[in-house]
Amino acid sequence: MKKFLVATIMLCLATWGFAKEGFVTYVVDGKMYEGYYSTPSDEAPLVFIIHDWDGLNEYEMTRAKMLNDLGYGAFAIDLFGKGVKPVTIDEKKALTNALYKDRAKMRKLLDASYQAARKEGANVANSIGIGYCFGGAALLEMARMGTSLKGFVSFHGGLATPAGEDYTQTKGFVLILHGSADESVSLDEFAGLAKELEKTGIKHEMITYSGAPHAFTVFGTDRYREAADKKSWRRLVEFVDETLSK
């Protein structure tokens, strides 16, 4: 019976596309955080995922498994805390604004997540990061703080650089995937970031998708735009293949 159970588990893991999957808990300043790690193997190239203002949920886990199917590991970062799942707009704004106003704390949480992935055995030496909306803004913070990733990919994320910060410590390529119809993050901000990255000498690529509003990749919402989602995902897959060694 035990051998049958083990065999069944291994078969399921092979079918799902990962050899390791589960939540990873870690503590920052006395508070528990819970990331999500799934991978075909610990040697697989790794993609960090940073969640939107909804917190880490099924959306990020779905994206992680899509990456697993392509042979990549994924570690979804938690910036709100274990079990924190905001529902109302006010709750979401409170959580994100608190981190926008305290960049030192945001950086501490980002680094703690990176270290948690490393301790879990994830291949952080061969990794990039992606982020959605708030997560895109947080990912660019990760770039500015000098985290050793080979690339940083923002999907409809916040693009403004906070006062006193810059990209002089950025180590990887920056890829921005943005909706031209985004009313939350203007094309002026998009252009401003392009100028800043060019002036700083950071290798980058920035793409806009016509008719795509803020959060155009979020399945099942009125903001979802299938064409822009598929095109941006296809560019991500190309970028990962170009950037990470297998």
Which CATH number fits the domain that encloses residue 47? 3.40.50.1820
- What tens digit of pLDDT does each residue of 164-213 get? 999 999 999 999 999 999 999 999 999 999 999 999 999 999 999 999 99
Question: If you write DSSP's letter for every residue of the chain in order, what string do you get?
Answer: -HHHHHHHHHHHHHHHT-SEEEEEEEEETTEEEEEEEEES-TTSEEEEEE--TT-S-HHHHHHHHHHHTTT-EEEEE-SS-TT----SHHHHHHHHHHHHH-HHHHHHHHHHHHHHHHHHT-EEEEEEEEEETHHHHHHHHHHHTT---SEEEEES---PPPTT--STT--SEEEEEEETT-SSS-HHHHHHHHHHHHHHT--EEEEEETT--TTTT-TTSTT--HHHHHHHHHHHHHHHHHHS--
* Mean pLDDT estimate for the chain: 93
Share of the chain above pLDDT 90, in %: 91
- What tens digit of pLDDT does each residue of 130-172 get? 999 999 999 999 999 999 999 999 999 999 999 999 999 999 9
Decide if 9 is inside a domain.
Answer: no
Q: Does residue 9 register a pLDDT over 50?
A: no
Share of the chain above pLDDT 70, in %: 93
> Sorting pLDDT into bands at 50, 70 and 90, what band is 227?
very high
Decide if 18 is inside a domain.
Answer: no
Decide if 223 is inside a domain.
Answer: yes
**Of residues 45 and 11, which shows the higher confidence score?**
45
Domain that holds residue 223: 24-243
User: How many domains is the chain built from?
Assistant: 1
- What tens digit of pLDDT does each residue of 48-79 get? 999 999 999 999 999 999 999 999 999 999 99
Q: Give the model's pLDDT for residue 11.
A: 35
Decide if 188 is inside a domain.
Answer: yes
Decide if 10 is inside a domain.
Answer: no
Q: Give the model's pLDDT for residue 42.
A: 87
Decide if 19 is inside a domain.
Answer: no
